[in-house]
Each structure stands twice: as C-alpha cells, then as structure tokens.
Structure 1
Amino acid sequence: MSLSANPKPLDESNLRDWLKTQALALGFDGMRITDTQLGPATERLQAWLAEGRHGQMEYMQRHAELRSNPELLVPGAVRVICVSMNYLPPETDFDAEWQRLEDPTQAVVSIYARGRDYHKVLRNRLQEFANLIEERIGKLGYRVFTDSAPLMEVELARKAGLGWRGKHTLLLNRESGSTFFLGEILVDVPLPIDQETEEHCGTCTSCIDVCPTQAITAPYQLDARRCISYLSIENPGAIPVEFRKAMGNRVYGCDDCQLICPWNKFAKRTELPDFARRHGLGQATLLQLWSWTEQEFEQRHEGSAIRRIGYIRWRRNLAVAMGNALASTKVDHADKESLRAALNEALPVADDLVAEHIQWALAVTS
C-alpha cells in the first residue's frame, strides 16, 4: 500500500477512545500506541546475537537491522499500534497442567498451540482494524504484523504500556498475566502515544527456578539454545542429548515459566472459539499422537501453528518423550511394553533424524 505524504497531526480529542473501542469490538483485549524508537533495546539485541543465544534462528541475525529500526519495514512510519489478545481457553486449569507434566505417558503441547494458528486469527482482525482506521481518518501508510516479520514486538508492546517484561523475558500485565498474543500496525500517522507501565515482578524468581533446562540464565536473560520451546519448535536438527531428559513429556513448546508465574493466577480466559483445543491436544497420550500417520498429522494440524514444524520434528519430539517415559519409574510395565513396541516398529522405516532419537529412547532404558 502506498504511503501518505506528510501526514498531518490529528487533533480529534476522542480518537484515542474510538481506537480502543474498535480494538475491543474486534476481539482484542488491549490496545496501546507507541513511537518507533527502540533505544537501548537494539543494543541488547546485538549483544544477545553476538553471544549466539539465538541458536540456529539465523533469520534473527540476518534481519537484525530491520528489527532495530521499524521504519525500514514501513518507510515513514512514526507510530505502532500494539494490541493483545488473550488465548487461554475456558477449560484450562493450571493444576491439571502440572499433573499432566507429572504423568510421563501424557503428551504435553503448549497451551497456545492447541487451537487455531494465532498468526491467522490476529492478522485478519488487524487488517479489519486498519481498514476501520482508514475509514475514520483517511488514507494512511500502514502494515500489519503478528510475529510475522523482524519486529521487536515485545519491546514495542512494553513501551506502549501493554505490560512489563517479566524475568522470563515474556510480557506481563496485571489483568492477563502472560497468556496473550501480540499484534501490531505500523502507521505513518502521528497518533497520540501511551505511557509505559510499571514493573511488578519484585523479588520473585519463580520462572527462573522452575525452568527445566535453566534457559533463563539470569533475570531478563534467555538463552534460546537451552529453551524447550526453541529445542522442540525452532531447532531443525537433533535435540542435544544433555537436554532430552529435561524435556520430559513436552512435545511442542513449554509453559512451565508461565504456569508458575503468580500473575497468571489472574489470567483471563478467552471467549474466542479459535483458541479452543482441537484433536485431543491437552488430553492425548504419547502413543495416541505417535500413531498418527503423516497424512493424519497434516490433516489434524491444518490451520494450526504446529503444522509448520513438520512431521519429522513432531516424531523427533515424541520419540524423546517416549524415551523419558520408558526411563520413568512412574510408568507401569504394560505401558512401557506398548511404548517400546511402537518405537521398535517405527525404527526400520524412520527418517534418519527420527531414527537417532528412537535409538536413544530405546537405549536409555537398557
């Protein structure tokens, strides 16, 4: 879309309230506005990349300059409309989530990924929001984002006042904890700016203490190479052996630092059906998910964020969890025999990456 030239300041006293009303009507739970200046955050990003903490996420290094300067994404952009959308389904119970983590035969998928792909849900609504803004104030230059381009969205949302950075590096706010998605609209119109909010983590270190792989190396410092979400989703190769036991039965992502966070006691449940769990995710056993063929994986994860990792990584993750179940004293003999039989049956025809993880899984019990 072409950019509007020399946008004029807007003096409508009720514009801010109108924007918030429209955002809430579209299903967003928060809406704030900030400028495009990232300040010290760009230096912290460069230091994090220089230390190699991004692992094999080469796109972060490749697009570092774009991340540091949103105006390179949308020339002439002066404001960022930041929105949040709660994703916690009504049936979610944190105590039950902890209990599933304690049962090695269960397959634990991160809560956010059990429903529809949030990229699609937010992007469509952001586009509707942008269309409404154009109808109200006239032609503008803009672009919508939701974790889909090199944009430091958490930092921008923090600046806009949607929350503060928790010690696990996720955004927190007092009404929704951390269980919400973020989206942005970069615009070339000087909309009124909101103020940052205060931090409220205090001396709490629960997220740091609970991390299974000690990926939170210090307050506000995350080493992605150790993070189970990175290892099970972004990492294209073998799961490093030193982290396999710690993965437990987590087969896609990890919620531990959010489940333990005191602020998530106040997390609001979403009313959107898009984020309700599908295909038994949240209840399935390892053997049930292992039994899926590649065609079933593609069909059942259609419209899901999980589909992007592909069948091979999915099986890789399941094989690690099955190995951990075989090594656990909590699993009875009959269940272990079923797990072992399933792995042995799959081994002769498995992809090389999956085969290596199956072999590991079978060997850790001997």
Structure 2
Amino acid sequence: MNENLKNLLLEQSHEIGFSMVRICAPSDIPSAASKLDSFLKKNHHGSMNWMAERIEWRGNPASLWPDAKSIIMLADNYSPNHDPLHILAHRNRGAISVYAQNKDYHEVVKKKLKKLGRWLIQQENSTQIKVFVDTAPVMEKPLGAAAGLGWQGKHTNLVSRDLGSWFFLGAIFTTLELPKDTGEEDHCGSCSACLDICPTSAFPAPYELDARKCISYLTIEHAGPVELSLRDQLGNRIYGCDDCLAVCPWNKFAKEANEIGYHARTELKAPKLSELVTLDDNSFRKLFSKSPIKRIGRNRFVRNVLYAI
C-alpha cells in the first residue's frame, strides 16, 4: 500500500522543512463530532460562530471531501529561543504571543504544503490533493493526534514528545491510500501545570477550554470590550497568551525553530506600550504587514494596549 512512496514522502517533507509528518484516514476521529457538539452547547466558543458552521465537515473529514483516502498531517516547529513568560514581569512592555512575532504562519505553512503537494502529484499523476492550514472546517488537532504527531494535552493543544507544545499543523488530503501511522498515547499523567498557570481559569476541567475566558480569544477574536472582571488578568498580554504552552514540561525536548520566518523580530519581541498606543492606521499596517496581528485591525489592537497600560 504505497509503502515506498510513504518513505519518500517522509524524506521530502523534512527536506522542505517540516519537523514531523504522520498519516491517518478520514475516519480516524470518530469522537471529534460529539466533543465539538458538547463544546458548542456549553457556548464555550463565545462569539466564534463560524465554529458552529459545517459541523458535519469538522466532525467527519470524509464529508468534506468524499474522495479523500488519506490525510497527511504535518508539524512545523516554531519553538522560541527565549522564555516567553519573562516579559510578563516588565509591565511597560507588550507581550505578543510567540507565533505572531514574525511572519503569518498561515502563509509559511501553506507555501510548504503546496510544495509538498506538487511533489506528491509528480510521483503519482492520478492523485488529487487539497491543502489546509487553519483555513477550513478541518479539526487539525484531533487529526494530528490520530496520525501520531502528538496528543491533545490538558490545555487542549497538541503536545509532542519531540517538539513540546510549539508547532503549527498543516494537512494534505489526498486520494492516495497511504499506510497509516499509530495515534500517540496521552503522556500528561498527573501534571496540571498548564491548568494551574492560566490567569483567567479558562479550563473548567482538564482537556476542556472555555474560550470566553481565554486571553488568546479575548485579545484576538473578541471584538467588544473585555469584561471588567477579566481585564486585570490580561496583564501586559496584548496579542494572545502563551502561558499554558510555555509551562509544559515536554518543551524541554523542543529545539529552536529552523524556519527564519518564525524567529522573533526585534521590534515585536518586547515592544514598548507607550509607542504602540500611538500607532495610527498607516503605522499599524506597516509594522504588522506580514504578521497575523494585522488581522485584528488597529482599533482592537490599541484596545488591548490600553488595557495593558
């Protein structure tokens, strides 16, 4: 069942720059739909109404593309070379989530996925592919766990024994039937570091997130004013939050990202709040032209800066 092609695929994916590659079938996440339904019924998605759309596709990838036989899941390491929690003690500086301190990962990962996809088509002319990176109703984390990239930790993010919590996910759906990998076991054990550090207690229980309390949601997705009861806990976090990722013990095995596009830009590593609050529309677009931060717009960003001040 294309064992030789799979080996070549592994080699090519690493040559392109991916850190890990594993394969699963579209039918390998049978419990994803019920978990998503529970999440939505509790209204834990907040104002992210798009999560309630195309539920049948999210819970069953075969419904998204019935011709798909295999899903190639890829991990792209973005591990920082510094402690992202250190800046939280410097309240005159803004804390920006590690993933947003340089280029927009959607563009970087998609470029690599397309390159790998073109290579795959060259090997098998009859194959068809679709590439996804957080841009379609695809549940990448359950698929990544099913494929064996890692397991969903108590903070609900994927954790790898090799990469810790610092990696992006990309997916290639293909009509090729490739040999599957085995899903990873849960290695969280009795550890609760990610739950304990959360400033807003956004985890009602292990493996369960209430996005309405999550600082990443509040500073990125939430358009209106942040509740008074949560504003103090934001601290100087002005875009996202890395607390639960940063304290994961499995990060001790992570190595600094090779991808230059993920290395922190100096001006975004610890920016002065006093300078950020003066940004007008033009200077905002110029500073964040290639960053995912541009997506939230100047007004919401400055709102976050004002809360931090």
Q: TM-score scaled by structure 2? A: 0.97
State whether residues 94 and 236 of structure 2, in contact with CA within 8 Å, keep that contact through their aligned partners in structure 1: yes
For the residues of structure 1 that align with 2:185 and 2:64, how far apart are their CA atoms? 29
For the residues of structure 2 that align with 1:175 and 1:265, how far apart are their CA atoms? 9
State whether residues 279 and 300 of structure 1, in contact with CA within 8 Å, keep that contact through their aligned partners in structure 2: no
Q: Which has the larger radius of gyration?
A: 1
Amino acid at match of 1:183: G
Instruction: Give secondary structure in 2 for the equivalent of 1:47.
Output: helix
Amino acid at match of 1:70: P
Q: Which residue of 1 aligns with 2:169?
A: 182
Pick one of 274, 294, 302 that aligns with 2:281: 294
Q: Per-residue displacement from partner, 1:72-101 (whole Å, max 9, x unpaired)?
A: 322311211000000124xx222xx33310
State whether residues 74 and 142 of structure 1, in contact with CA within 8 Å, keep that contact through their aligned partners in structure 2: no
Q: Which residue of 2 aligns with 1:61?
A: 52
Q: Structure 1 residue 279: deviation in Å?
A: 5.5
Amino acid at match of 1:130: G
Q: Structure 1 residue 139: deviation in Å?
A: 2.2
Amino acid at match of 1:305: P
Q: Structure 1 residue 312: deviation in Å?
A: 0.8
Is 1:17 paired with 2:17?
A: no
For the residues of structure 2 that align with 1:309 and 1:246, how far apart are their CA atoms? 21
What CA RMSD, in Å, does the superposition of the two structures yield over aligned residues? 1.1
Q: Which residue of 2 aligns with 1:39?
A: 30
Is 1:246 paired with 2:233?
A: yes
Q: Structure 1 residue 291: deviation in Å?
A: 2.3
Is 1:27 paired with 2:14?
A: no
For the residues of structure 1 that align with 2:177 and 2:2, how far apart are their CA atoms? 12
Q: Which runs of 4+ in 1 moved over 4 A?
A: none
For the residues of structure 2 that align with 1:98 and 1:84, how far apart are their CA atoms? 23
State whether residues 23 and 71 of structure 2, in contact with CA within 8 Å, keep that contact through their aligned partners in structure 1: yes
For the residues of structure 2 that align with 1:20 and 1:53, how far apart are their CA atoms? 37
Instruction: Give secondary structure in 1 for the equivalent of 2:66.
Output: coil
- Equivalent residues in 2 for 1:1-366, closer than 5 Å: 11-37=1-27, 38-89=29-80, 92-94=81-83, 97-278=84-265, 280-322=267-309
Q: Structure 1 residue 55: deviation in Å?
A: 0.3
Instruction: Give secondary structure in 2 for the equivalent of 1:116.
Output: coil
State whether residues 83 and 184 of structure 1, in contact with CA within 8 Å, keep that contact through their aligned partners in structure 2: yes
Q: TM-score scaled by structure 1? A: 0.82
Aligned pair count reads 308
For the residues of structure 1 that align with 2:278 and 2:154, how far apart are their CA atoms? 38
For the residues of structure 2 that align with 1:69 and 1:264, how far apart are their CA atoms? 31
Q: Per-residue displacement from partner, 1:334-359 (whole Å, max 9, x unpaired)?
A: xxxxxxxxxxxxxxxxxxxxxxxxxx
For the residues of structure 2 that align with 1:286 and 1:265, how far apart are their CA atoms? 31
Q: Per-residue displacement from partner, 1:274-321 (whole Å, max 9, x unpaired)?
A: 112225111211112112221011011112111000001101101100
For the residues of structure 2 that align with 1:288 and 1:312, how far apart are their CA atoms? 15
State whether residues 3 and 179 of structure 2, in contact with CA within 8 Å, keep that contact through their aligned partners in structure 1: no
Instruction: Give secondary structure in 2 for the equivalent of 1:284.
Output: coil
Q: Structure 1 residue 113: deviation in Å?
A: 0.5
Range that drifts further, 166-175 or 285-294: 285-294
Q: Per-residue displacement from partner, 1:40-71 (whole Å, max 9, x unpaired)?
A: 12101101101100000000012222211212
Instruction: Give secondary structure in 2 for the equivalent of 1:105.
Output: coil
